[in-house]
Homo-oligomer: A and B are copies of this chain.
Amino acid sequence: MNLLFKALGDPTRRQIIDLLRKRDMNAGEIADYFSISKPSISHHLDLLKQANVVLSIKEGQFITYSLNTTVFDEMVKWVIDISDKQTKKARSKK
């Protein structure tokens, strides 16, 4: 979960996620959306991969990246849980 939050804590990486939401893309296509170097994008993609937010498959010369939204499940559960406890606390106060 720490890797996930760390991964989401950078605007470039969240933009990459937003891009992949629309369609799968290869590293070069993704890089074209940004003004930072390809190695930097590659590094961001690596962190997203480590956090399990994206999956990659090699297709010949290209590497196609896609979103893996299942990792968000645990995160949402965590958040819901917090909000839930809070709701209970608020209710019992009244």
Tell me the A residues contacting B by CB distance below 8 Å.
Answer: 1-2, 5-6, 8-11, 14, 17-18, 21-23, 67, 69, 72, 75-76, 79-83, 85-86, 89
Whether A75 contacts B79 in the complex (CB less than 8 A), given A5-B8, A6-B9, A86-B21, comes out as: yes
Query: Which residues of chain B have C-beta atoms less than 8 A from A72's C-beta?
Result: 79, 82-83
Q: Which of A8, A22, A67 has the most CB of B within 10 A?
A: A8
Query: Which residues of chain B have C-beta atoms less than 8 A from A80's C-beta?
Result: 76
Residue on B nearest A78 in the bound complex, by CB: B14
Q: Looking at the complex, which one of B9, B67, B85 makes contact with A86 (CB distance below 8 Å)?
A: B67
8 A-B pairs, CB-CB below 8 angstroms? A2-B10, A9-B9, A21-B85, A69-B82, A69-B83, A69-B86, A72-B82, A75-B79
